[in-house]
Amino acid sequence: MRHGKKVNHLGRKTAHRKAMLANMACSLIEHKRINTTVAKAKALKQFVEPLVTKSKEDTTHNRRIVFSKLRNKYAVTELFREVATKVGDRPGGYTRIIKLGNRLGDNADMAMIELVDYNELYNAGKPAKKKSTRRGRSKKASAPAAPAPETANSEEE
């Protein structure tokens, strides 16, 4: 049974796994997309998305939390300056994983992980979406006004 086994260990000890994910996250923030295996991309997605959420509010506390995970001040600066402004209105889902096929050498399943707002190919054809909320509306406000009867207009002529 898999009870309580949320973390994919990726065949590494804890310190090695944390260092690898921090390095991959720094590369993702710097280059906006990286190629890796599918398992590492899924682990990286879980690692980096909370950090991007923290970067949306630029406080000293949030910078220190993110720095403790990334351990690279240039990546933290890039995340809080450029990435946070680009994803500021997005409510989550900052990364996208695109499967690329198998690697030639060992047939490993490869993927590209990228920051969603930096891919101009996917965002070019879509118009700017109006921000919506999940609050319900009353039926009176959402129903269109009834059209005026046309019989009154035709009798006057």
> Of 122, 126, 115, 49, whose CA–CA distance to 82 is shortest?
115
Checking if the pLDDT of 7 tops 80, the result is: yes
DSSP 3-state of 87: coil
CB atoms under 10 Å from CB of 1, counted, come to 4
Confidence of residue 127 (pLDDT cuts 50, 70, 90): low
Query: What mean pLDDT, rounded, does the chain reach?
Result: 88
Checking if the pLDDT of 150 tops 70, the result is: no
Q: What is the pLDDT of residues 64-122, one digit of tens each?
A: 999 999 999 999 999 999 999 998 899 999 999 999 999 999 999 999 999 999 888 87
pLDDT given at position 66: 98
Instruction: Report which residue type is found at 12.
Output: R
* pTM, to two decimals: 0.78
- The answer to whether the CB of 48 falls within 8 A of the CB of 76 is no
